[in-house]
A = this chain, B = another copy of it.
Amino acid sequence: MKPKAVVLLSGGVDSATVLAIARDSGFDVHALSVDYGQRHSHELTSAAEVARALGVRRHLTLAVDLSRIGGSALTGGIPVPKGRSVQRMAGRIPATYVPARNAVLLSVALGWAEVIGAKDIFIGVNTIDYSGYPDCRPAFIRAFERMANLATKAGAGGVRFRVHAPLIRRTKAQIIRRAVALGVPLERTHSCYDPGPSGRACGRCDSCRIRKKGFREAGIPDPTLYRQNTDGAG
């Protein structure tokens, strides 16, 4: 019997690729998406499409209303930054940072893992082509793992939870090549922080710019439908 794993699935390129990696590594994949009050629901629609296309044991979407605590451009109130070059993003934590998001997401994933008897949790965090979020760093992942083993009945009983972050040191171009090799339906993934009502990507937020640069550097045609023509500058 395959070991079970919980994979956090946002609907973006990274988490979709992580799901394919977990499946390819022989895990029985349980995908978890969290509706944390994102400004738009296109991400969750993409997550469902990716889960269906790649095939998972189960896809659970769970509500955690982080929009009530505010403090982020992704949950409302603050504008999404546009037009920053990828170089200028490095080392800065932007307004799209959602306070303690990965701690919350991983904690919920930990709870589900414990219930289904999984000890492996996968998350698509990345420290190379990313927006400077603190909760994407390896030190955070290790600290979460230590906490997880003390937080749970399973941990108290000797189970060692592992948080896998297989993309943590990969560039976006490397991730996109890996995704293509594993058959990830990239045309169904969603990266934009501020899509139009149709779901079309803005092409100018940090996430769109990182995505475009990744496709360009990977030498793979970008299947994304953008809302407007945007300059090619990453």
Contacts and interface: CB of A to CB of B under 8 A. Distances in A.
A32 to B, nearest CB: 9
A112 to B, nearest CB: 4
Contacts of A146: 143, 146-147
Interface in A61-93: 62-66, 68-71, 93
A144 B147 CA distance: 6
A110 B115 contact: no
Interface stretch (A133-141, A169-177, A226-234): A133-141
B147 A108 contact: no
A115 B152 contact: no
Please state the number of chain copies in the assembly. 2
Contact of A99 (B63, B68, B97, B114): B114
Most chain B Cβ neighbours within 10 Å, of A66, A97, A100, A114:
A100
Contact of A64 (B64, B103, B144): B64
Contacts of A143: 143, 146-147, 150-151
Contact of A155 (B60, B134, B144): B134
A148 interface: yes
A111 B104 CA distance: 8
Given A69-B108, A115-B70, A151 B155 contact: no
A140 B153 CA distance: 12
B69 A103 contact: no
Contacts of A71: 111, 114-115
Contacts of A97: 153
Contacts of A115: 69-71, 99
Interface string A111-147: 1101100000000000000000011010110011011
Given A134-B150, A143-B151, 13 more contacts: A60-B69, A69-B108, A93-B156, A99-B152, A99-B153, A100-B110, A102-B151, A103-B151, A104-B108, A107-B107, A135-B151, A135-B152, A146-B146
